A and B are shown apart, each in its own frame.
Chain A
Amino acid sequence: MKDNFVNHLRPRFISDRALSVYYTFCLGGLSFLAFLMLGITGILLMFHYQPGTSSGFSSVLTIGSVIPYGSVIRNLHYWSAQLMVVTVNLHMVRVVWTHSYKPPKQLNWLVGVGLLVLVLVLDFTGYLLIGSQESGAAATVAANLLKQIPGLGTALAQIALGEPTALSGSTLIVYVWHCVALPLAAFWLQLYHFWRIRRDGGVRPL
C-alpha cells in the first residue's frame, strides 16, 4: 500500500533548480498551507457558528469570548485568510516576474486567475458572515452592484447573497457559499493547478 500509493505521489526525480527557494519563495506552497489551515479552523468554527442576520453576530461574539479556545480558532481562521490573500497575490507577481505565464504554462495561469477570484470571494463572504454592521453595509453595496446588471441582476444578487439587511450580511445563502460551495471549488481547482505544474514540466526557470 505504502509502496504503491505514497510513492506514486512523489515525482521520480526533482531537478536541482526546482529546489531553489529564491525562485518561487514557495509562495504557492504558503497559499496552500494557509488554505489547509482555513479548512481545519473553518470546520471547527462551524460547530458553534449560527448563520442568520439576527444570530450570526452574537454567535461570533460567543465564539470569541466564552467558548473555550474559540478566540484562538477564530483568530487562526481570520489571519490565515488575510495571509492567503497576500501570499496568493505575491505568488501571482512572482509568476509574472519569472515569465512563468508563458507557454506551455498559459493554461495554469488561467487556472490561477480562477483561484485568485475564488480566494477573494471567499475572503469577502467570510467578512459578511461576521454579521457586524460593517458586513451589512458591505453586503448591501455588493447586492446593489449586482442589481445594476440589466435583466439578470436581481436574480444574481438573490442567488449570491440572499437577502442581507443593512445591519448584517450573515445570510444562510452566504453561509452555504462560504462553507461548502466555494471551498470545494477552490480545493479541486488547486489539485488541478498542482497536477498541471508537473504536466507542464515542473517549476523551473524556462
Chain B
Amino acid sequence: MAGQIECSRRTVLRFAWSGMVAVGALSVKPLVDYLTSKEDQPRTSLVAYEKSLVEKTDWQHVPNSRVWVMRDDQGIAALVATCTHLGCEVTYHPERKQWLCPCHGSIYDTDGRPVEGPAPKALPRAAVERKADGSLIINTEKQVGLDARL
C-alpha cells in the first residue's frame, strides 16, 4: 500500500511519552503563574480620582475600581458598587436613576437604597478626602453614612 509507515508499539509509546513531556513542560509557566498569584491578597483600600469635581454631577465611575463619585448641593460623596446581596458589581444607569445588579436583579435607587430584589442593605458609602493638588482620595475601608459629604 502506498504511503504506509512502519509503526511499532515502541514508536507509538515513545511518541506518547514525548507528548506527555511536552504537556508537562508547557504547564510549568501556567502553574508558576497560578501558584504565585497575589491577586486575591488584599490591596490598598485607597482609590484616587484625578478630577476635582467642582461642578454638580450625577454618579461618575472611577476607572479600574468599584468606586463611583458624585456631587450634589451638599457636596461630594463616594459609593462602592458592590451588591449587598452576594457581592456582584452593580452599575449605575443614569437614564433610570437606578443601580442594577446583573446577578440576581437587585435594584437600588440613586442614593443606593434597595428598592427591589434580594439585596438586604443600601450600597456602602466611602469616605472622601481632598489632596493638596485638588484631586480626590476615596478610602473604601472607611464606611460613612448616606448623608456624609465632603
Residues of A in contact with B (beta carbons under 8 Å apart): 44, 47-48, 50, 57-59, 61-63, 66-70, 72-73, 132-133, 167
**Chain B residue nearest in CB terms to A50:** B40
The answer on a CB contact under 8 Å between A67 and B39 is: yes
Which single member of A48, A72, A132, A133 contacts B40 (CB below 8 Å)? A48
Contacts of B33 in A (CB 8 A): 68-69
Which single member of A44, A58, A133 contacts B34 (CB below 8 Å)? A44
**Chain A residue nearest in CB terms to B88:** A61
Nearest 4 A/B pairs, CB to CB: A68-B33, A69-B30, A66-B39, A62-B40
The answer on a CB contact under 8 Å between A62 and B39 is: yes
Known: A47-B35, A58-B87. A66 touches B40 (CB 8 A): yes
**Chain A residue nearest in CB terms to B87:** A58
Please, how many angstroms separate the alpha-carbon atoms of A2 and B73 in the complex? 82
Taking the nearest CB of chain A, how far is it from the CB of B88, in angstroms? 9
The answer on a CB contact under 8 Å between B34 and A47 is: yes
Taking the nearest CB of chain B, how far is it from the CB of A44, in angstroms? 7
The answer on a CB contact under 8 Å between B34 and A73 is: yes
Give me 16 A-to-B residue pairs in the complex whose CB atoms sit less than 8 angstroms apart, sorted by A's number.
A44-B34, A47-B34, A48-B40, A59-B40, A62-B40, A66-B39, A66-B40, A67-B34, A67-B39, A67-B40, A68-B33, A68-B37, A72-B30, A73-B34, A132-B86, A167-B86
Size band of the B side of the interface?
A: 10 to 19
**Chain A residue nearest in CB terms to B118:** A133
The answer on a CB contact under 8 Å between B86 and A57 is: yes
Please, how many angstroms separate the alpha-carbon atoms of A58 and B40 in the complex? 10
Known: A68-B30, A72-B30. A48 touches B37 (CB 8 A): yes
Please, how many angstroms separate the alpha-carbon atoms of A66 and B40 in the complex? 8
Greatest chain A CB density within 10 A among B31, B39, B40 is at: B40
The answer on a CB contact under 8 Å between A67 and B37 is: yes
Please, how many angstroms separate the alpha-carbon atoms of A66 and B37 in the complex? 9
Greatest chain B CB density within 10 A among A48, A63, A69 is at: A69
Contacts of A132 in B (CB 8 A): 86
Please, how many angstroms separate the alpha-carbon atoms of A72 and B37 in the complex? 15
Taking the nearest CB of chain B, how far is it from the CB of A172, in angstroms? 18
Please, how many angstroms separate the alpha-carbon atoms of A57 and B30 in the complex? 23
The answer on a CB contact under 8 Å between A68 and B34 is: yes
Contacts of A63 in B (CB 8 A): 40
Contacts of A167 in B (CB 8 A): 86
Please, how many angstroms separate the alpha-carbon atoms of A48 and B33 in the complex? 12
